[in-house]
Amino acid sequence: MPLVGFLFNGLGRNIWSKKVIAYKATGYIVMSFIFSILAFLNVQSSGPATVHYFDFINTAGFKIPFDLKVDALSSLFLLVITGVGSLIHLYSTAYMKEEEAPHYARYFAYLNLFVFSMLLLVLGDNYVIMFIGWEGVGLCSYLLIGYWFTNATYNYAAKKAFIMNRIGDLGFLLAIFWLIVKLGTVSYGTVLTAESLAKLSSSDITAITLLLFVGAMGKSAQIPLYTWLPDAMAGPTPVSALIHAATMVTAGIYMITRSNILFSASEFTQHVVAIVGISTALLSATIAIKQNDIKKVLAYSTVSQLGYMFLGLGVGAYSGAVFHVITHAFFKALLFLGAGSVIHAMHHEQDIRKMGGLKSKLPITHITFLIGCIAIAGVPPFSGFFSKDEILAAAFAKSPIYWALGVVGAAMTAFYMFRLYATTFLGQFRGTHDQEHHLHESPFAMTLPLILLAVASAIAGAIGVPELMGGHHWLSHQLAPIVGEAKEAGLSASTEWALMGVSVTIAVVALLIALSIYRKKADGEPQTALGKFLYNKWYIDELYETIILNPLNKFAGFLKEVVEKNIIDGAVNGTGKLVQYSARQIRLLQSGQVGYYILFMVLSMVLLFIFWFNDMTILKFFYKLTH
Amino acid sequence: MFLLLFLLIPIFAAIALLFIKKEQSVNLIAIGSGLLTLLGALHIILNKTGNYDASWLPILNSRFLLQADGLAKILILLTAISFPAIFIATSHNQTNQKNVFLSLMLLTQAGLMGVFLAGDALLFYFFWELALIPVYFLCSIWGGEKRITVTFKFFIYTFLGSLFMLIGIILLYSNTADHSFLIESLKHANVSPAQSATAFALFFIAFAIKMPIFPLHTWQPDAYEQSPTAVTMVLSAVMVKMGLYGIIRWLMPLFPTAFLAHANLVIILSVIGILYASFIAIRQDDMKRLIAYSSIAHIGLMNAALFTHNQVGIQGAFIQLFSHGVNVLGLWIIADVIEQQTGTRSMKALGGIAKKQPTLAILLVGFAFANIALPLTNAFIGEFLMFNSLFQFNPWIAAAAGVSVVLAAIYTLNMVQKVAYGEVSEATHLMTAPNKNAQGVLIVLLVIVFVTGVYPQPLFDVTADTLKQLFVK
């Protein structure tokens, strides 16, 4: 136990300190990855461990300890965060090379702080510590998205990310208060037990879980709070990889999985989660089909994949959702870093219509990117297949409609990913001559992470091979202490095989269609009304602007210009004028000069004192004061 | 006897300053006296102190009683930190007759110390006015263009409030058995419920104006904007705390029944004020006015938390009294540095400071996030506890007030973006060498922000006795 405590202490501190030099920053994350492996093994051999540092808040019988805990769930997240995190750090050392030294240092400091916050989030042993990490991640994303601070659009995107997250955070905060009122504590050890559950009425549970879900919506970019994530690609590309894959957006999944006992107790919330999840998955998949910015396609695909995870959470497939978090972390980090490599080679060109034919110029990037696309499209035996299939099977057990919608989404995923792949890597080069001349494969520090992630994307499915295929689903046994043994889906083997067959066939067909359309040419400007509608992202941003932002702004302006100036202050000044006016009428003080008023006041105060205390007490007072 | 030093040091320094003209020594005396007071404040926080009790105005049986419990100590510490911080940060500023200016500032400090230490109602009233009068002169002589009308409004407003309080004090006093102004005696004054409610209202108006509570707040943004920034810092970091302190020290113990009876009304007014001020802050272009409205919102939350009469919430308000002072002081110092160097406070005209003076920009971002109560900054502790108590009082009210958390992020990040980020503007182009004094002070304040944000327990411990006293039956 003390050993584990020491390890985590060291881990937290190391990451916290701002290290100027890149290899140091990377080294610290790699070190924490090693610690994470040790912690993971420790959990395997001797079970969960809790470390108490100090009482964060302790007053009037109300106590929030600063405790960290590592158990099966958090140790898995630790591995993903620090593992993928180290690769992203390594990649960044090369990607950000052109930055000047102080900015380079700033970048890595933010990056380290980001990983620190995320670790705090998953290691905290109560909701308040989780909330600290939760907001910390929001802060870091704000800093990193707005990293190039001279660009107004980027700053706007950063601000949008923070504010949308804040809306979610408010929900989370209210859920915490609700727990405190009802249970007097926020520690997992007490809250997440059957006894506590018995103390809560069913409406309490529904309210708490819905509020928690609002928090998750913000952080994990679900409808209606998802629009910040696509804009978040304003940051440097490795940052997008970090936000989209290893950290931040998975926080919501982690939180709900952690609180699964509460969520399972509310049928209503589960339906809400599943419906929001599948709607988000479909909405963003349709948008991704028409985007031409390489990072934007990936961004919407993240939103869409997160939707799948929430669908999984909503239908009670907690370990399936976590499984998808893990595989998604690999292939999405891979895809973003691959995109970064392309952008790097293309001198900051992000429009895929101006690419094409990069296959031969960037061989490593090409192969690894292709692996990422296959993985996300859900083609067996790549990792995405296993995790997505687990979620879809659970969805089918709950309702075939969820399943059918999920398969439609999966088909779209295969389609837009291979549209992206084909437009970027196949066909003829469509950029400028100058760009073509300078095309080059990225340095080793960038391709190594790509290769490692590609390997992981290909084989990570092995940790969750269903029993149906002769595996024993290591992951779900691993998580059993947290989420309970996976419930029997109640599906016969033949049904499962059939479902799998249908979804894979549809995905492969979609993939082939995309390849055949886009291997020769890129999309032009959208022609049809539907095309424009999707290209403009359903006009959701515009909609928010018209129905929320503008009215709010107008309302604030109304308060400032009309209520404050005319009504409230007007009343005050009016009273003042009235007094002044009557004073004039009775001709007591005609001068109207402020000085006289004040003089009058001070004089009357002095007189008051003198008349009241005419036994020279004031003099005595000063006398006493000096003795 | 020791407590008397908190009055004597600034008063003596103030008198000494009147006879010195040389700017360097003027600054030195002010800063020295400020630091000396700070040492004293640290001393009483770490050690037990006795009361100072002397006879004063014997015909009225009023006593010169100074006492310091945990709450008073923490506010004395805040006052003692603020003044030297202000003196150091603004030591380069050009001010006419700086010795008189600083002398009046020190008198204000003495008045504030007296307010926090007084254990006798009449003495409290005396210091309450003493703190106000120098501020009036400071504003009306050294203030901005519209200073005369604005300070007049400010003065009339608060003076009216204090007159109400005086009447309230006399009302209670005349009904005490032993004709005394001491808290204990006033507490047992033989008054009818109606009289008690009247006195409650009289006191409350004085405090509400001082804080200020919606809709009595309009003097404040004007006064903050027009005052010289050093005075604005005093007003908003320390002086507004007088109102909240008055509520805890006088209103709660003296009128327990009326206090609870009016909780609903006051909390709803406060929450309206929080939202109202937050909305208006979104539309401000002047940095000073933005901070002023943001401050009104924060103070409103503290007031609401006090009226929930929930131990945890009140503890949160104690912490926040201190934290808000530190944070808002940091923001004002930054605003002042920027104004001194660029000649403008209009956020439209600023920008690119992150490029021009990275350290200042980092400090601004630090205080901005403290202003929106990010966890691990000091403000989170207080706000978390206060919102929690509000939630226990009524979840809907808490949710409504919670919207201010989002609004605060909007206006604060707007400010950061317009001031620090973007390209260097015409105005910020003028910025020359960083102001080392101000930056030093800001760094110290930022360290306080994070230390008390990560490990707030010492603040809880210091104020525990006041809390216990309030809830003892």
The string of pLDDT tens digits covering residues A329-340 is 888 888 888 888
Q: Look at residue A468 in the predicted model and tell me its pLDDT.
A: 66
pLDDT at A39: 78
Instruction: Pick the more confident residue, A338 or A5.
Output: A338
Residue A490 makes CB contacts below 8 A (sequence gap 6+) with: A397
Looking at B233, B261, B289, the residue that finishes a domain is: B261
- Transcribe B86-116 into DSSP letters: HHHHTTTS--TTHHHHHHHHHHHHHHHHHHH
Are B287 and B235 in the same domain?
Answer: no
The pTM of this model reads: 0.87
Task: Give me the residues of A, 25-64, that contact B with CB < 8 A.
Answer: 54-62
What residues contact residue B148 under an 8 Å CB cut-off, 6+ apart?
A594, B140
Lowest mean pLDDT among A207-216, A603-612, B391-400: A603-612
Instruction: Identify whether residues A279 and A408 lie together within a single domain.
Output: yes
Local confidence band at B298 (pLDDT 50, 70, 90 cut-offs): very high
Best A16, A20, A54, A57 member to test B by mutation, with max B CBs in 10 Å, is A57
Number of domains in chain B: 2
pLDDT at A619 (0 to 100)? 46
> A166 CB near a chain B CB, below 8 Å?
yes
Tell me the C-alpha distance between A33 and A30, whole Å: 5
Question: Which of the pair, A3 or A450, is modelled with greater confidence?
Answer: A450
pLDDT in tens, A582-615: 555 554 444 445 555 555 555 555 555 444 444 4
pLDDT tens-digit readout, A109-150: 788 788 888 888 888 888 888 898 888 888 888 888 888 887
Of A443-447, A556-560, B321-325, B411-415, the range with the lowest mean pLDDT is A556-560
Query: pLDDT band at residue B261, thresholds of 50, 70 and 90?
Result: confident
Is residue A279 domain-shared with residue A368, that is, in the same domain? Answer: yes
Query: Which of A496, A511, A533 represents a domain boundary (last residue)?
Result: A533
The average pLDDT across A407-412 equals 87
Phi, psi of A56 (to 5 degrees): -65, -50
Residues A514 and A610 in one domain: no
**Domain count across chain A:** 3
Query: Rounded to a whole number, what is the distance in Å from the CA of B252 to chain A's nearest CA?
Result: 18
A624 touches chain B (CB under 8 A): yes
A102 to chain B: which residues are within 8 Å by CB? Answer: 358
For the cut 80, the answer to whether the pLDDT of residue B455 exceeds it is yes
Alpha carbon distance A5, B76 (integer Å): 39
State whether B178 and B279 are in the same domain. Answer: no
In this structure, of A315-324, A572-581, B285-294, B405-414, the range with the lowest mean pLDDT score is: A572-581
pLDDT score, position B75: 92
Does A256 reside within a domain? Answer: no
In this prediction, residue A615 carries a pLDDT of 42
**Contact between residue B29 and residue B15 where contact means Cβ atoms under 8 Å apart:** no
pLDDT band at A503 (very low <50, low <70, confident <90, very high): confident
Is pLDDT of B154 > 60? yes
Residues A379 and A281 in one domain: yes
Q: How far is A256 from chain B (nearest CA, A)?
A: 21
User: What pLDDT score was predicted for residue A603?
Assistant: 54
Residues A405 and A518 in one domain: yes
Local confidence band at A442 (pLDDT 50, 70, 90 cut-offs)? confident
Query: Is B218's CB within 8 Å of A572's CB?
Result: yes
Nearest by Cα to A96 from A361, A329, A438, A343:
A343
Please indicate if any CB of chain A lies within 8 Å of the CB of B464. Answer: yes
Do residues B219 and B154 share a domain?
Answer: yes
**Shared domain check, A448 and A383:** yes
Residues 310-349, chain B: which have Cβ within 8 Å of A? 311-312, 315
Share of chain A above pLDDT 90, in %: 1
Q: Does A148 touch chain B (CB under 8 A)?
A: no
Residues of chain A positioned with their CB less than 8 A from the CB of B279: 552, 555-556, 559-560
Residue A575: inside a domain? yes
B157 and B134 housed in the same domain: yes
Mean pLDDT in residue range A61-72? 82
Residue A419 lies in a domain: yes
Lowest mean pLDDT across A182-196, A402-416, B417-431: B417-431
Number of H helices, E strands in chain A: 29, 2
* Whether residues B111 and B138 fall in one domain: yes
pLDDT at B301: 92
Q: Are residues B300 and B206 in the same domain?
A: no
A58 has which bridge partners?
Answer: A63
The 10s digit of each residue's pLDDT in B170-221 is 888 888 877 788 888 888 878 888 888 888 888 888 888 888 887 778 788 8
> Nearest by CB to B218, which of A136, A163, A569?
A569
Share of chain B above pLDDT 90, in %: 14
| A557 part of contact set with chain B, CB < 8 Å | yes
Chain A interface disruption, residue of B357, B378, B384, B462, most A CBs within 10 A: B384
Q: Is A150 within 8 Å of B421 when comparing Cβ atoms?
A: yes
Task: Name which of A131, A155, A597 is nearest B421 (Cβ-Cβ).
Answer: A155
A277 and A356 assigned to the same domain: yes
Query: A525 with A569, same domain?
Result: no
Question: Is B455's CB within 8 Å of A559's CB?
Answer: no
Chain B residues in contact with A564 (beta carbon < 8 A): 218, 280
DSSP states of A377-405 as a string?
Answer: HT-TTSHHHHHHHHHHHHHHHH-HHHHHH
Q: Do A169 and B381 touch (CB under 8 A)?
A: no
Q: Is the CB of A177 less than 8 angstroms away from the CB of B392? A: yes
Task: Mark whether A546 and A411 lie in a shared domain.
Answer: no
The least confident of A171-175, A485-489, B92-96 is: A485-489
**Cα A491 to Cα A493: distance, rounded to the nearest angstrom:** 6
Q: What mean pLDDT do residues B241-251 have?
A: 90
Which is more confident, A385 or A570?
A385
Shortest distance, CA A349 to any CA of chain B (angstroms): 22
Q: Token pair of B356, please?
A: 């021009």
- Residues 365 through 384 of chain A touching chain B, CB cutoff 8 Å: none
- Return the pLDDT at B304: 92
In this model, does residue A464 exceed pLDDT 80? no
- The domain in which residue B309 lies consists of 264-473
Place of tokens 């992206």: A420
HSE-CB at A232 with a 13 A cutoff on CA atoms is 36
In this structure, the answer to whether residues A461 and A599 fall within a common structural domain is no
Mutate to test the interface with B, among A58, A147, A177, A617 (most CBs of B within 10 A): A177
* DSSP character string of A293-340: BHHHHHHHHHHHHHHHHHHHHHTT-HHHHHHHHHHHHHHHHHHHHHHH
**Between A526 and A512, the higher pLDDT residue:** A512
Q: Are residues B73 and B99 in the same domain?
A: yes
Q: Is the pLDDT of residue A211 over 80?
A: yes
What are the beta bridge partners of residue A65? A55
The whole-number pLDDT of residue A361 equals 80
Instruction: Give the domain-ending residue among B225, B241, B261.
Output: B261
Is residue A518 in some structural domain?
A: yes
What is the mean predicted confidence (pLDDT) over A453-473? 74
Confidence category of residue A487, pLDDT binned at 50, 70, 90: low
A177 contacts B398 by C-beta, under 8 angstroms: yes
Between A204 and A105, the more confident residue is A204
Question: Does the pLDDT value for residue A538 go beyond 90?
Answer: no
- Per-residue pLDDT reduced to its tens digit, B320-357: 999 999 999 999 998 888 888 887 788 887 877 777 78
Q: Which pLDDT does position A583 carry in this prediction?
A: 54
Chain B, residues 138-157, CB within 8 A of chain A, namely 140, 148-149, 151-153, 155-157
Answer whether residue B238 shows pLDDT above 70. Answer: yes
What pLDDT, on a 0 to 100 scale, did the predictor assign at position A579? 62
Cβ within 8 Å of A, B 423-462: 423, 455-457, 460
Nearest CA in chain B to A149: B421
pLDDT of residue B433 exceeding 50, the answer is yes
Within-domain flag for A89: no
Q: Is B269 found in the same domain as B256?
A: no
Averaged pLDDT score across all residues of chain A:
77
pLDDT of residue B302: 92
pLDDT at A363: 82
For residue B52, what are the β-bridge partners? B66
Output the pLDDT for position A570.
66
Please report the pLDDT score of residue A6 as a whole number.
41
| Closest to B270 measured CA to CA, from B221, B202, B213, B323 | B213
Please tell me the distance from the alpha carbon of residue B152 to that of residue B158, in angstroms, as a whole number: 10
- Let me know if residue A308 belongs to a domain: yes
Q: Quick one: closest CA in B to A594, which residue?
A: B152
* Domain span including residue A316: 267-533
Q: What pLDDT is recorded for position B27?
A: 85
A553, with CB counted inside 10 A (0-12, 13-18, 19+), is middle
* Whether residues B216 and B362 fall in one domain: no
pLDDT in the model for residue A10: 45
Cβ atoms of residues A318 and A404 within 8 Å:
no
- Confidence class for position A5, pLDDT limits 50, 70, 90: very low
Same domain as A459, residue A444: yes
In degrees and rounded to multiples of 5, residue B147 shows phi and psi of -60, -40
Task: Establish if B375 touches chain A: CB-CB under 8 angstroms.
Answer: yes
pLDDT for the residue numbered A486: 54
Say if A370 falls within a structural domain. Answer: yes
B449 and B354 share a domain?
Answer: yes
Q: Check CB contact under 8 Å for B457 and A55.
A: yes
What residues of B are in contact with residue A153 (Cβ under 8 Å)?
none
Q: How many CB atoms lie within 10 A of CB A439?
A: 18
**Do B317 and B415 belong to one domain?**
yes
Whether residue B387 sits in one domain with residue B254: no
Amino acid at A419: R
pLDDT tens digits, one per residue of B358-379 = 788 888 888 999 998 888 888 8
Chain A residues with CB inside 8 Å of B369's CB?
Answer: 139
Predicted confidence at residue A19, as pLDDT, reads 45
The stretches of B143-251 forming alpha helices (DSSP H) are 147-173, 183-187, 193-210, 219-226, 229-233, 240-246
User: Dihedral sign, CA of A231, A235, A236, A242?
Assistant: negative
Q: Provide the pLDDT for residue A138.
A: 87
| Last residue in a domain, options B226, B245, B261 | B261
Residue A280 has a CB neighbour count (10 Å cut-off) of 27
Same domain, A364 and A421: yes
Dig out the tokens for A325 from the structure.
């978090």
CA distance linking residue A438 with residue A361, whole number of Å? 10
Q: Which of B58, B375, B395 comes nearest A131 by C-beta?
A: B375
Per DSSP, the three-state class of A293 is: strand
A506 class by beta-carbon count within 10 Å (0-12 exposed, 13-18 middle, 19+ buried) = middle
Contacts of A127 in chain B (CB under 8 A): none
Contact with chain B for residue A603, Cβ under 8 A: no
Identify the closest residue of chain B to A558 by CA–CA distance.
B280
Can you list the alpha helix ranges (DSSP code H) found in B308-456?
Answer: 311-342, 353-356, 358-371, 378-393, 395-420, 426-429, 436-454
